[in-house]
Every structure is written in structure tokens, then in C-alpha cells.
Structure 1
């Protein structure tokens, strides 16, 4: 799963990666705002920004999606790297986390239009 999220994030415009919490956690940002944290060495491998209603529904539907590890439980979810989540869902959740953060940026700083980017 970690390979899927890393590959998807590399496709997103304006994404940077840093390690403010140490070398164990890669933090993915767009224009300085965090939308994902990746901890490849742990079972709680990916933490993503999520709309509160979506986060609640995802946690109720998928046992491998739990409240955000070390994050605000209302606005963040953690995907457990247990092999039960499909690649398409994981990639969609990364894209949605990115869109949520981009939507909060001033229009002039947005690398994409969050209303249409990544929608099929």
C-alpha cells in the first residue's frame, strides 16, 4: 500500500515531501499544507486528511480504516497496511486528501482546481 500512495502522490501537482517528525515519517504537502503522512515501517502506514462525514463513513465500512493516528480524529484517517484495502480506493483517498487541502488555499496558489481535479 505504501508504494501505491507514494506513486499517486508523485503524480499530484505541487507536492513536496519533508520529514519534520524524523526520518521514520514522510510528510506530503501541497503549498506547505500537509495532506498525508507515510510511515513505511509501521502497520499504521498512511494517515490522510479526510472530510469528517467521509471519515466516519469510511471507518464504519472498512475495518482497516481507523481514526487518524496521532492526529485530529475528526479530520484525519489512518489506513492500516493489512492488505485488505484495494489499490483504487487507496489512490482515491490520497487524491481526495490532496483536493481537500488545495481547496483551502487561496485561488492564486492552487496548483489545480479542486472541484474538477481527479474526478472521472
Structure 2
């Protein structure tokens, strides 16, 4: 999968924002100030995306796809890293990004969730 496509998938999530962490040489994607995706490289500079994942699902995905590994520099139980040159199906990339986003969004305070949803509603109404 190419990085520009993954960036589009990340930024189309409701209320998503982006920054670049210079020290890590990584693009990070947040919702409500919490990261749900990071695109960078492993210790050899091989491009990866790191996504939050339900622990049981994370293990299952690692067993099915050798290109999905425990989260690089992240909690190995709750995060997976996927090599961008992976052979996983195209539609799975977007599903995994949406899953990561949902896990992070649902942990945000309810008030912040409502604010994010309201901002999107107002933005769409003003178009």
C-alpha cells in the first residue's frame, strides 16, 4: 500500500488531525488529541504503519499475515505494525485504520466525542 493512500484513509476519519514527529521521523494521526495511527519506519527504515487493535484481533492478524507484527515501539498487546509492502488485501488496510480510530475515539470522554461529532456536523452543514 502506498503512503498517500494510507494518509487519505487516516484523515477521512471524523475529527482526525495530523502532525509530524521529527524525532521519530513519523507522521501521526490523532482524534481528540490521542494517536490512532503512525506512519514511519522500523529500525532498518522499512516503511510501516502502526495501528491500535483489539488484543484478540491483533494476535489473529499476526498469525494470518506475516507482515503484521507487534507494534513497533508501542505496547505489543494493543498495537500492530504493518509493513507498507505487505500483501494484505487493499480493503483490509482501510478497515484496520477505521478499527484503530474507533478504539481510540470510544475511549475519549463523551463530551469530547460529542464535540468532535458536532464539529463535523456543522462543517458539513456549512458546505
User: What TM-score do the two structures reach when normalised by structure 2?
Assistant: 0.80
SS of residue paired to 1:13: coil
Contact 2:10 2:37 in 1 (8 A): no
Within 5 Å, give how 1:1-120 maps onto structure 2.
1=1, 2-22=3-23, 24-39=25-40, 42-110=45-113, 111-112=116-117
CA-based RMSD of the aligned residues comes to 1.8
CA distance in 2, matches of 1:23, 1:69: 12
Deviation at 1:43, TM superposition (A): 2.3
More off after superposition, 27-36 vs 16-25:
16-25
More off after superposition, 14-23 vs 27-36:
14-23
| Number of positions where the alignment pairs a residue of Structure 1 with one of Structure 2 | 112
Q: Which runs of 5+ in 2 are unaligned?
A: 118-127
**Which structure shows the bigger proportion of residues in helix conformation?**
2
Contact 1:4 1:87 in 2 (8 A): no
**Which structure shows the bigger proportion of residues in strand conformation?**
2
SS of residue paired to 1:45: strand
More off after superposition, 33-42 vs 88-97:
33-42
User: What TM-score do the two structures reach when normalised by structure 1?
Assistant: 0.84
